[in-house]
Amino acid sequence: MRLKPQYVFILAVVGIVALWMIVRAMTGGGSDKAEAKATPPNPTPSVQARLIPEVAREVEVVMRGRTEAARSVIVRAETAGVVAATPAAEGSAVRQGQVLCRLAVDARQAALDQARAMLKSRQLQREASAQLAEKGYRSPTQVLEAQANLDAATAQVRGAEIALNQVNIRAPFSGVFDHRDAEIGTYLSPGQPCGTMIELNPLLVVGDVPETDAAKLHVGAPASATLVSGQRLAGRVRFVSQEADPQTRTYHVEVAVPNPGVVRSGMSADLHIGAGVGPAHLVPVSSLVLDSAGRQGVRYLLPDDRVAFAAVTVAEETPEGVWVTGLKGPVRVVTVGQSFVADGQKVRVAMAR
């Protein structure tokens, strides 16, 4: 029986493969072993390091903050009446005692005039009683009664003057009339708002510091704030909370800074607060790495040129590098190759200048 050409081709391929396997088995695969013997062992990795000295430096606690008015007060009416005038414009700077809203006088002026007339009458009665008493026509009791009537009339005048003055709702301090709640024609009962006053000088820069840094801060510590506009403000800490926020576990901090009136409330800022002097190292930004636990730090060299990891805290970023805390003494920090070596690994070191 004659085989088909395709079957002949398949049998030929199978035969060649079988023959190659027999020859390889007889030679023992020497070429692979030779190649394995020729492969050199893994060389010791090389890294570049820089000797970083320890420097005594001002320690700063850095946080995100915002500007805030030192005081914010809703100014309310002390008496009832219809608003007759609003002399102060919203957003304008006002002085202490300046009128923000003025109520209609109504009958208050008439009540004052009546009280003054009664006071004048009581004064005349008191003088007449005193003169008659000198002549023996009035008893001491009658003189005292006339004096009591005079005192009552004086108090009535004072009350009428206060009631008339209360139609003027005035600024309790110098600042900005930030928002007006009452317009002309609005009826205000006692306690209803005329508007809101805020004090912007001094200005507060507030933030929340984590519990790990709260113990480093104290009232009176120097501080500075850099606004989003680039403007820099300097001041001192005026308040550090003694109780943590139950949700964020942070402590509230307030810094008072002078403000000529150009900085508004509510602006974002980077807040730097002095916390004394401590050791720090200036390392290149590129030398910072993360370990297997996700901690930020640097890899440095032990005396026997083995690699170790140290967790650090970034204190400040500068054009020359980052100031970090967490290292002790002069340290050989790995600056090149730190991402390709492991802790405890022996390396060859080339020192950088």
Other beta carbons within 10 angstroms of residue 101's beta carbon come to 28
**Rounded-to-integer distance, Cα 244 and Cα 211, Å:** 8
The pair of three-digit structure tokens given for residue 340, joined into one six-digit string: 């390709």
pLDDT in tens, 210-236: 988 888 899 999 999 999 988 999 999
**Strands 222-227, 307-311: parallel, antiparallel or unpaired by DSSP?**
unpaired
Burial class of residue 297 in the structure, from the number of CB atoms within 10 Å of its CB (0-12 exposed, 13-18 middle, 19+ buried): buried
pLDDT in tens, 140-185: 888 899 999 999 999 999 999 999 999 999 999 999 999 999 999 9
**Strands 348-351, 46-52: parallel, antiparallel or unpaired by DSSP?**
parallel
**Strands 187-188, 81-85: parallel, antiparallel or unpaired by DSSP?**
antiparallel
Closest CA to 44 of 246, 337, 352: 337
**Rounded-to-integer distance, Cα 74 and Cα 76, Å:** 6
**Rounded-to-integer distance, Cα 179 and Cα 72, Å:** 11
Report DSSP state, residue 346. Answer: B
Q: What is the CA radius of gyration of the chain?
A: 44
pLDDT in tens, 250-307: 999 999 999 876 789 999 999 999 988 888 999 999 999 999 889 999 999 999 999 9
Residue 228 three-state SS: coil
pLDDT in tens, 34-75: 444 444 555 788 999 999 999 988 888 889 999 999 999 999
Could you give the domains of the chain?
Answer: 47-56+279-351 (2.40.420.20), 62-69+199-277 (2.40.30.170), 105-166 (1.10.287)
User: What per-residue confidence (pLDDT) applies to 262?
Assistant: 75
Q: DSSP states of 68-120 as a string?
A: EEEEEEEEE-SS-EEEEE--SPTTEEE-TT-EEEEE--TTHHHHHHHHHHHHH
Per the CB < 8 A criterion, the answer to whether 327 and 313 are in contact is no
Bridge partners (DSSP) listed for residue 224: 234, 272
